[in-house]
Structure 1
Amino acid sequence: MRAGVLVPVHGFAPYLAETLDAILAQPGEPVVVVVDDGSPQPLALHPDHAPRVTLVRRETAGGPAVARQAGLDALPEDVGLVALCDADDAWLPGALARVAGALTAEPGAGWAFGRALVVGPNGRPTGERWAEPPAGRLAATDFGRELYAANPVPTSSVVLRRAALAEAGGFTGPVRVAEDWELWLRLCAGGVDAVCVGETTVRYRRHPGGLTADVAGLAAAQLAVHERHAELVGPRAADRVIADDHAALAAGLAREGRYAEARAAWAQVAARRPLRREEQVRRAVLALPGLRRRLGRGDPYRG
């Protein structure tokens, strides 16, 4: 089955050449669509890439999901598999064939994904480890409950059946950040099984310019996702996870100096469960101007 690859881009993309080099080196000659999502300076592809890549320009930025949908609309009708790769990540050799092959070997599954090696801006491994679901086919009901608690799926490792994606409503959803996670949950809610490839297929890059570096924004998006898909786990389990979202939101707001909003978020946590000891300390520190300024320091990926 023919495959297409969607690469959304917004603004300065220092790793895009590496991303496209890795995609274009994959066997099978996939159809590659790069979507310039309203960048202030319109994107120009390198001459080595331009002849082999379709460039779609959106005049207004809509976020990754909207950009991917624009790319999907630009794919030829005979493309039945849709692969994702962000503009700061890079596939390993043979990644597309491995993930697409695992999906086509399971006719009843609608999407597949691999595992990620997390690297920093310099390309060196950070040592960060993500949860790793077991290799093989994952039933939508069970995997939906696991996904609700945390997202172990590297977006840039995903291959979807185009038909399953269309049935789930396409890429666009209710959130601009964590939009990939919301799609996975939507697929599971629709009864679409997944396939996990039990090997690393992508180098996932952490860097300050990434969308997930916005701690408060990501926490708010996760909260919206969990509220939308609470039926996957039931009210008691959902309430526990939503309390943790409010705690993450409180921490992110404190980092930004939005102390009144952080206190309100901690109140939402306390309304759902008792505060843990370290959370009680963080909440108390918000009332101490000399100490609370320290809450904005440190690596956002490490708490």
Structure 2
Amino acid sequence: MIAVVIPYYQREPGILRRALASIAAQRDCPLPVHVIVVDDASPAPAGPEIAAAGDMPWPMQVISQPNAGPGAARNTGLDCLPAGTRYVAFLDSDDEWTPDHLARAVFALQAGFDFYFADLLQLGADVTAFVRAARIEPSKHMKIADIHADLYAYQGDMLNQIISGNVIGTSTVIYDVERFADQRFMVEFASAGEDYLFWMDIAHGGARFAFSSQCEATYGRGVNIYAGAGWGTEAHLRRVHDEIRFKKLTRRRYGLTDAQLDHVNVGIASLRITFARDLLHRLSHRKALPMQLLISHLAMDPLSFLMLVPNSTRLLLKRV
């Protein structure tokens, strides 16, 4: 069985029903499907959306919980999987699958793989993510079979791939939950790194990865947790704080190579400059400083403050 886990939080009606319609449109999937919608205290409730979506060819359950974020909602879904679930697929409520997504994923997974992902079309893009970012070249990977075009066995170190340039989109992921039954999203990294840590833990656990270079998901316009996180907002500073925390955890958690450590350290140094830029923006616009967050940041990364003067000086000199 495949369980499809959908975290749901939207302000506008009509979004979830399109995601559900794309599940109902799946064809030739050889396994039964069970849909789990976790209503994360959505302003637009799940009930009317599900009713408007029409008949679903597979069982569907709705779980309601206080608002806790998408990772926590996915964790709730993972905690409530029906007996016999072999694979879990993630689909965000504002995204849609192509009709062959599940069939292609099951074919790849049953060929001996533990984790599947695919190319996707991001909101507002006219080329797919694989093509736009150029972080993965299918020709450098081994084809799984000719029966399904564009299915590949990932060749290389996926942990390194995620650290240097992630290629995994959450709404294309299907993985073997029997093998990774205890894996959960680290919700304390909701604003930065929550999904990456999930993929990296699985990669670090020895998973075999398969992927499709065919576009199998279209990302839609819904609630964006980064909306309102512009310069000088507490949400922006929180995101910088969490990104540094995430990168520091990456250094501790995975036993990185020297090259990987260099890459992570460069990212942290860049974020410290972003931290300085945010504070300069606040001061120049006479915005209040979020003291509690700054105290927390000082404890987590003292170098952000030690580098504040040189980083601010560089930023100010660039304006001259």
TM range (shorter): 0.7 to 0.9
Q: Deviations over 1:34-85 (max 9, x none)?
A: 1001235643233244763311101x21211110111122221111110011
Residue in 2 that maps onto 1:221: 242
Q: Deviations over 1:243-286 (max 9, x none)?
A: 23334555667777669689x99x739959x97xxx9346865x
| Residue 268 of structure 2 corresponds to residue 242 of structure 1 | yes
Residue in 2 that maps onto 1:101: 107
Residue in 2 that maps onto 1:4: 3
Shift in Å at residue 172 of structure 1? 3.8
RMSD: 3.6
Shift in Å at residue 144 of structure 1? 0.6
SS in 2 for 1:23: helix
Moved more, 86-95 or 252-261: 252-261
Q: Distance in 2 between matches of 1:76 and 1:174?
A: 27
Q: Is the 8 A contact 1:4 1:82 kept in 2?
A: yes
Q: Distance in 2 between matches of 1:40 and 1:166?
A: 31
Q: Distance in 2 between matches of 1:254 and 1:96?
A: 48
Q: Deviations over 1:117-147 (max 9, x none)?
A: 1123xxx74887234424433367x221121
- The structure 2 residue matched to 1:160, chosen from 163, 175, 198, is 175
Highest CA radius of gyration, 1 or 2?
A: 2
SS in 2 for 1:201: strand
Structure 2 residue runs without a partner (length 5+): 139-151, 231-235
Residue in 1 that maps onto 2:64: 57
Q: Is the 8 A contact 1:155 1:180 kept in 2?
A: yes
SS in 1 for 2:83: coil
Q: Is the 8 A contact 1:113 1:154 kept in 2?
A: yes
Structure 1 residue runs without a partner (length 5+): 289-303
- The structure 1 residue matched to 2:163, chosen from 129, 140, 148, is 148
Aligned residues: 272
SS in 1 for 2:133: coil
Q: Distance in 1 between matches of 2:317 and 2:180?
A: 42
Alignment of 1:186-205 (within 5 A): 186-205=201-220
Shift in Å at residue 161 of structure 1? 0.6
Q: Deviations over 1:138-189 (max 9, x none)?
A: 367x22112113322111000011123324x323454113311111111122
SS in 1 for 2:189: coil
Q: Deviations over 1:208-229 (max 9, x none)?
A: x312443624443332221111
Shift in Å at residue 12 of structure 1? 1.6
Q: Is the 8 A contact 2:5 2:37 kept in 1?
A: yes
Residue in 2 that maps onto 1:175: 189
Moved more, 248-257 or 64-73: 248-257
Residue in 1 that maps onto 2:122: 118
1:251–1:23 distance in 2 versus 1, CA, 3 Å? farther
Alignment of 1:264-303 (within 5 A): 268=304, 271=307, 280-281=314-315
1:69–1:50 distance in 2 versus 1, CA, 3 Å? farther
Q: Is the 8 A contact 1:114 1:198 kept in 2?
A: yes
Q: Is the 8 A contact 2:95 2:171 kept in 1?
A: yes
Q: Is the 8 A contact 2:275 2:304 kept in 1?
A: no
1:171 aligned partner, one-letter code? F
Residue in 2 that maps onto 1:43: 46
Q: Deviations over 1:14-40 (max 9, x none)?
A: 421111111111123521111001235
**TM-score (norm: length of structure 2):** 0.71
Identity of aligned pairs, percent?
24
**TM-score (norm: length of structure 1):** 0.74
SS in 1 for 2:206: coil
